[in-house]
Every structure is written in structure tokens, then in C-alpha cells.
Amino acid sequence: SVPEFGTAGAGGFAQTCNRCHALPSPAQHTAAEWPAVVTRMRGHMRRYEVDTVSDDTAGQIVAYLQRAAVAPSATRPTPAPPR
């Protein structure tokens, strides 16, 4: 399920990313990581001659993913204290 499904960013995410692979969970990356992920995926789309999205749509997708992203502390385990 796509959180915020009725928004432009969520719709762009669902339509664009589904062209090549199953939709990732927005919680798969932190808000800080998503811009680079989307840039990398747009590069893959160009390389494989898949119609890519406009900069505006990519920005909406990134904003959506950042709102739905996991908090940084939730993605990385806290190191154990030294003994």
C-alpha cells in the first residue's frame, strides 16, 4: 500500500517506479537518502531508454518519499556500548 495515495508525489511514485520494479517501501531509506536514490533511478531509466519523469515530477516524488521515510535512527542499529 502507498501512503498518501491521492497525492501527486505518491501517484508519480506508484506510476513511475512500477515501470521497472516492485514499489519499494518509503521507509526503506531516510529522507536524506531519497534524493540520491531517485536521481540514480532516473539515470537507470535513461540508460535503459525508459521514459523518465520531469524534474518537477521527480521533485514531487522525492518530497513524498521524504515525508514517508523512516527516521535515521530507525534504519541503523544503535551500537552496543563498550564493555
pLDDT tens for each residue of 20-43? 999 999 999 999 999 999 999 999
The three-point CA angle 33-40-79 to 5° equals: 30
**φ, ψ for residue 70, nearest 5 deg:** -80, 150
**DSSP β-bridge partners for residue 70:** 30
DSSP class of 1: -
pLDDT band at 70 (very low <50, low <70, confident <90, very high): confident
9 within 8 A of 53, measured Cβ to Cβ: no
The secondary structure of the chain in percent helix, strand, coil, rounded to multiples of 5, reads 55, 0, 45
